[in-house]
Structures are given as C-alpha cells and as structure tokens.
Structure 1
Amino acid sequence: MDTQKTRKTAFGAFAALRRNSLVPAPALVLIAGTLFSRVGDSLATLGMVLDAADKGMRWGVTEVFLADLLPTVVAAPFIGSLVDRVSARSVCLWALAVQAMSLGTAAAVDGFHLRVGLIAVSGLAGVASVAAGFKMLPVVAGEKHTSRANSLLTAGLSAAGLVGPALAGLLHSVSGTAFLLGADGVSFLVLAWCTALAVPRSVNVSIGRRPDAKLSDGYQALRTAPVVGPLLATLAAAMLATSIEGVAGVYYLRDVADGNETVFGLFLSTWALGSIPGALLAGRASWSGRHTALILGGVLGISLGLLCAGLLPMAAAIFPLFLLGGFGNGVCNVGLRNAVHTQVPAEVHGSAWACYQALSRSCIGLGFLLGTPNSLVTSRDQVIVSGAIPLVFALWSTLRTVRRRQPALGEASG
C-alpha cells in the first residue's frame, strides 16, 4: 500500500472539511472519538453499579467508584511525566490498547471483584490517554482554534453525560453487564483509530517532549500558571461541592420530587443540559483570553445554583437553578482547559493535566465522604453547604483579583 498517497488523500479530506468548519477536521475527529469513548465509559460504570445493586452488595457501588478514583490520585504524576518524556501519540495509542484489552477481558470473566480490578487497570491507562489527548489537542487544532476545540469537547462531554446513563440503563436491562463492558472496550478501539487518523506520525516532533521531566513538573506548572495557580483552591472547592451534592443530592432531590423517579431523573439531566450552552458560549472568540472571568464566573454559577437549590426545596425552583449551576460548570471547564493550554508550556502539558486529574479525583473522593448521609446534618443541609463552600472561595478570589489589578491601574493612570 502507498502510505504517502493514503496520507495525502486523508489530509485532502481534512482540508476540505476545515474550510467549512470553525475547528480543523483532525481536531473534530479526535473530539468525536473522545466523546464516543466517554459514552462507552458511562456504559461500563453504570453497568457495574447496577450489577452491584442487583446483587445486594453493600459496598459494591463504592468499590466501583474507588476503582476509578484511586488509580488516578496515586499514579497521575508518574504517568503524566511519562507522557511528557516520549511521543504523546504513542503513549495515547498504547494506553487505549490497554484499556480496550482490560475492558474486553472484564466482559469475558464473571467475578465482580475481578471485573472491578480490570476497570482499575483501565483507569490507570486512562490517566495516560487523557493526559496525552490534552497534550495533542492544541497540535491538531492549532493555536487559533484551541479555545473553540475545548468548547466543543466540553459541550460534547456534557451531552455524553446525558446520553450515556440513559443508554446504559436500557442496554443493561436487555443485554447485561458483560455487553456493556465489551462495548466500552470497543469504544477505546474507536478512539485509537480516530487518534491515529487525526494525529499522523509526522506531527510527533511538534508535540513538546521533555526527556528530563520530573514528577513535580506538573504540580509546579499548575502552581506557577498566572491564572490557574491563584485559583486552584477555588477550583478544588467547586469540585468538592459538586461531589458532595452528587451524593447528598440523591436523597434531598428524591424528597423534593416526592419519590417521583421521572422528576428525579430530570433534575440530574438538567445540570448536564445547562453545561452545554455554557461550554459553547465560553468558546466564543469574544471570550478568548478571559480565563479568570470564565473560571470565577463559572464557579459563582455553580455555587449559587447549589446554594439556592438547597434553600428553595421546590421542583419549580430547582430546575432553573440546576440549569444555572450546569451553565457555570460548562463555562468553568472551558476556561480552565484554555488557561492550562495557554499558560502552561507545551512540554509539560501531559504532567500538568495528569496532576490536575489527581487533584480533581482527590476532591471528588472527599466530597463523596462528606456527602454521605449522617446523623449530624440533613441531606438538605449538606446541599446548602456544598453551595456555600465554593461561593466563599469564589468571592475571596474575586476580591484578590480586583486588589491585584488596582495598583496596576493606578500606575498606568499615573
């Protein structure tokens, strides 16, 4: 086969698509594969959760969630530094192959705990594939279109969050958990194909490499980034808040819905629905470079949505408040991704994003614990607290930002 001719044909098709798109075609291919894989992840996770519930395993659901959280927290710095040392494309393809094999094996075995262990292996490989994907996106999108690409990806992930659980519930009742695990494995093969198509070997050199990368490089890059560093605490508070609500809200929202499962399901969908326009609007050219405003504005939307939803236990009020919270979530996520892509050197993008994954998973795990029902506070109180925490941090960060800018304005006017 004439690989050069094939490559030219593929890039000819990409060029034709690029003329009609705001985002280059290779980036669209990579985004599409990522979204397909995210739906597959939803199938596998929810399938295992439903399997644990059907078997009456008290700690089964927790085990599934921990299998996704712990590998990222522990291994992210090591894997992130690997992504920065070698070709991001090669790391991504190998990691996706491991994920596909792990999920395929999980589909072929019967033991619940063995399946969870294989999911944990896939989660470890997932740290590498996600970090590598983050590193490759600016290369295939180009600096001019990276912001828009992040916007489309974030909006698409929210849409996948709507489609995945509903599809998983349907397929689980028809085909069982093994089918869902196998489907997730296939989704990683699809993403690998999209990655190989969108990122040809010829662009490997342009993806920053750092052979002497250290484990601390990722955290150092995040701390010293002009926008992300000062806002890390606020971002952590927002992640903690949403995970607290994710657990406590199950009990609180079911009470508000008077046990109506349809209304409860709509509550959950409303948040993801609101994040789609938030992500798309945050990617507009008029917001390019306004990372601080996007992150702080997004966190304020999240906090006000959660706080007021706890203070107003009425379905008619919670729907628009969750739309507001979801809108803020989409805005914040796009602002964060753009800030890291813009302000962190390309040679440490892999380490930085892997370390951010570790930070987010740590906050999520802590939030799950704090959101667990207890005898000290009600689930409604926990939801109120989940909104108050990021609100305090967001207002504090906003005040600090304004104070830092005032001297600069004074000097300029003088």
Structure 2
Amino acid sequence: MDTQKRRKTTFAALRPNSTLPGAALILIAGTVFSRIGDSLASLGLVLNAADKGIHWGVTEVLLAELLPTVVAAPLLGAVVDRFSARPVCLAALLLQSFALGAATAIPAFHVRVALIALSGLAGVASVAAAFKMLPAVAGTERTGRANSLLTAGMSLASLIGPALAGFLHSVSGTGLLLGADAVSFLILAGCTMRAVPRSMDVAISRRPTSKLSDGYRALRHTPGLGPLMPAMAAVILATSIEGVAGVFYLRGIAGGNDSVYGLFLATWALGSVPGALLAGRAEWAQRHRTLILGGVLGISVGLLTVGLVPLAGLVFPLFLVAGFGNGACNVGLRNAVHDHVPAEVQGNAWACFQALSRSCIGLGYLLGTPNSLISSQGQVIASGAIPLAAVVWATLTGLRRKRSGQPALNETSG
C-alpha cells in the first residue's frame, strides 16, 4: 500500500502501469483474463439451460456457484494460510482448468453444473491465494495501486464477458465457452508462475492454535475493518436484490427494449472503472472507511433514486454514480484487509469474506424474485434504502466512538 500520503500527487497516480512492477501487472492481467473466462462459462450454462427448457437450470447454476464457496471457505482459506500460497494457487488453477475441460467434453447439463461447482470450490483457494500474494508481488507500498488497477480490470471484464458470451454462444454453443474458461485458467497459472518466484516470501501461519474460524474472527474483530462489515453485507445484499428485480423494473422503464437495458448495465460497469482508479491515488491509500462508506452511499443513492423516479434518462447518470461508488468501495475493502488483517491469516479472511459475500448474494436473489407482496419497483427502492440505512448506522456508530474516546478506525487524514 502506498504510504507516501504527504507527497503531492499528479495525474501519474491514475496510471498504475507506470509504477507497478512488471510481475504485478502480469498477475493482474492474467486474473482479469480469467474473470472474462468465468463470465463466458457461467452465462454459457445459463443460456444452455434456457435453450433446453430446463426450468430450474438457471437456479441450479447459480447455486452451484454460491454453495461451495459458502460451505468450504474456512477450510480452504486455512489451507492457503498454512502452506505456501504459490503452489496452492497453481494446484487450484489446474483443478479449475481440468473441471472446465471435462465440462467441455461432457454435454450432459447436470454433469456440467457439478463440474462448475468443483471449479468454484477450487476457485475459493486460488482467489484467496492470489489475494495473499498480491502485496508480495506488488510491494506493500504499492498494494493500494495494484488493488485499484485489478478492480478496474474486473469491472471491464464484467462489461466484456457477458457481451462476448452472448455472441460466442450464438455462434458455437456452450462447449466453446466452457473450453475458453478452461484455457483462461491455464493462462492465469502461467502468469502466476511467471510473476511469483518460488522463493518469494509470503507469510505462513504457524500458530498451533489456529482455527477454521480465524478468517471470520479477523473480519469481525480487526480494528478498522470489523465495524464496516455490516455496510458491506448490506450493499452486497442490495445489489443482488436489484440484480433480479431490476431485470423487470428497468426493462419496464426502457419500454421493453433489451438494448437500452443492456446499456443501463454497461453504464454501471463503466462508472466503476474511474471509481476504482481514483481510489488508488496516494492520498486515498489509508482512507478505507471513507472509500467504503462513501462508495456504499453512492450505490444507495443511485439505486434509491432510480427506484423512486422511473425515468430512463435518469438511469444513466445515476448508474454512473452507483458504479463509481462500487469501484471505490471494492478498492477500499481490499486495501483494508491487506492493511489491517495480519498477513498469516489474510488467505482465510478473504476466503471467508467470499463466503459472506456469496451468502448475501443468494439471499438477495431470493428477496429480488418477483412476488405478490411487493412490486419490482418496490424491491429496487428497498435495494437503495438498505445500504443507506447501513451507512447512517455506521456513521452514528463512528460518532459515538469518538465521543466516548474509543479508538478510531485507523484511518488517517491523508
């Protein structure tokens, strides 16, 4: 993380390529490429279910991606922390590639979903290990900029992946998309081997009393991070509610025009890129609380206003604001974990955060499903109100801490 907070920054701070080591750029590029591959495989199976008329197929795919992470995260995160992150990451990536390769060769839908679940299980370990290796590759003083560039790249991947998946599926079917994802994991494994030397020092937990719950404990009790977890859970829940309800509400605003609806979603992703890049500036390196709560506030205001004012012309600027907040929030969270959680439990902590995130996503999907009790517009309004309430609560809690003389959340003024 960049600790040179007093240095006068210039526009060069927005260009992480000029400061990050080449190894970090290789690792980030491989990760972004693999994320595009994940989008291809996931949407490919969803489209496959729709083509075959498998009514519960979409739900089956979503559950296959969610449940393994929720169940196995503490165990796999502990493995990442107890052993060298590099071989754990490479083994997990190879297992992911094997699972996707097998899914390419086997046309049976349910078998493919099971293999996707296996890949997701291995993905918990590979993602946690990559998170833990990033500071060692980028250098602790540049971790914030690395997180900024990685988050921006992920936003672009979420913009490119679905569009590319739709085109490729219409041309060649699901098999090509699954195969492309398998190749993307091999490419990421190659990038990891190139970027992370065998001799690189990545902290390993040698505490005899370590437990599977250490990751959750670190997220909850680490100063500067624990008090922000409710706001993170709220915004993940909210965006998941909108992700389902918005299909109906936003398409209604767009007059049923799917092209306009697609542009709505693209606007959010576009907004998150500058949000992530600006959050990587040196003066924001230690302002985790501001980035997270400010980002959550931007998301809540965007969603709440879209829900209250059903005008297509307003969706674009509001989704830019919400996307900007999303990018800033994600960078702030990654920096907070890297900065405040002890290195020897960072793998477990990030794996457990993945589990918490997927749990909120699953609940959000259920709450956003159309029903007779609340309209899709009401669900979108709720998706904006929930994180707004979390921001208000976190702000009031922070004020009470200051008045009572309790320790602050380790955020410097910059």
TM-score (norm 2): 0.93
For the 8 Å contact 1:136–1:207, the answer to whether it is kept is: no
Shift of 1:20: 7.2
Aligned to 2:266: 269
| Secondary structure in structure 2 of the residue aligned to 1:95 | helix
User: Is it true that 1:290 corresponds to 2:300 in the alignment?
Assistant: no
Answer whether contact 1:147 1:338 (CA < 8 A) is retained: yes
Aligned to 2:96: 99
Q: Residue by residue, what CA displacement relative to the aligned partner does 1:304-362 show, whole Å, maximum 9, x if unpaired?
A: 11100100101111111111111111111000000000000000000000000000000
* Structure 1 position 405 matched with structure 2 position 407: no
Alpha-carbon offset, residue 214 of structure 1: 1.4
Q: Which residue of 1 aligns with 2:388?
A: 391
Partner amino acid, structure 2, of 1:40: G
1:217-272 CA-to-partner distances (Å, cap 9, x unmatched) read 10111111212201111110100000000000000001000011110100111111
Identical pairs, percent: 69
Secondary structure, counterpart of 1:209 in structure 2? coil
What is the distance in 2 between the residues matched to 1:156 and 1:406?
Answer: 40
Give matches, 1:16-95, under 5 Å.
Answer: 21-95=18-92
1:80 and 1:214 map into 2 onto residues whose CA distance is 11
Q: Structure 2 counterpart of 1:95, which letter?
A: A
1:138 alignment counterpart: 135
Q: 2:227 aligns with which of 230, 252, 256?
A: 230
2:148 counterpart (151, 169, 176): 151
1:407 deviates by 4.8
Aligned to 1:210: 206
Q: Give the equivalent residue in structure 2 for 1:118.
A: 115
Q: Which runs of 5+ in 1 are unaligned?
A: 1-18, 410-414
Whole-Å separation in 2 of the counterparts to 1:274 and 1:40: 22
Amino acid paired to 1:325 = A
Does the 8 Å CA contact 2:132/2:202 hold for their aligned counterparts? Answer: no
Q: Name the counterpart of 1:349.
A: 346
The two structures, once aligned, show a CA RMSD in angstroms of: 1.5
Q: Does 1:260 align with 2:229?
A: no
1:361 to 358, 361, 365: 358
Aligned partners of 2:133 and 2:99: how far apart in 1? Answer: 24
Say which of 191, 194, 200 aligns to 2:191.
Answer: 194
TM-score (norm. length: structure 1): 0.93
- Letter of the 1:258 partner, please give it: G
2:334 aligned residue (309, 313, 337): 337
Q: Aligned pairs, how many?
A: 392
SS in 2 for 1:201: coil
Q: In the alignment, which residue of structure 1 is the partner of 2:11?
A: none
Deviating more after overlay: 52-61 vs 186-195 = 52-61
Tell me the distance in 2 between the aligned counterparts of 1:195 and 1:108. Answer: 26
Which amino acid in 2 is paired with 1:306? L
1:12 paired residue number: none
Deviations along 1:17-62, one digit per CA (max 9) or x if unpaired, are xx97211111111100000000000000010011111111111011
1:404 deviates by: 1.8
Correspondence for 1:9: none
Q: In 2, Cα distance between the equivalents of 1:407 and 1:117?
A: 52
- 1:192 and 1:136 map into 2 onto residues whose CA distance is 13
Q: Which residue of 2 aligns with 1:11?
A: none
- Give the Cα–Cα distance (whole angstroms) in 1 for the partners of residues 279 and 339 of structure 2: 15
The one-letter amino acid of 1:69's match is L
Whether the 8 Å CA contact 1:309–1:321 is kept in 2: the answer is: yes
Cα distance in 1 for residues equivalent to 2:137 and 2:257: 46
Give the partner amino acid of 1:359.
L
Aligned: 1:279 with 2:276 = yes
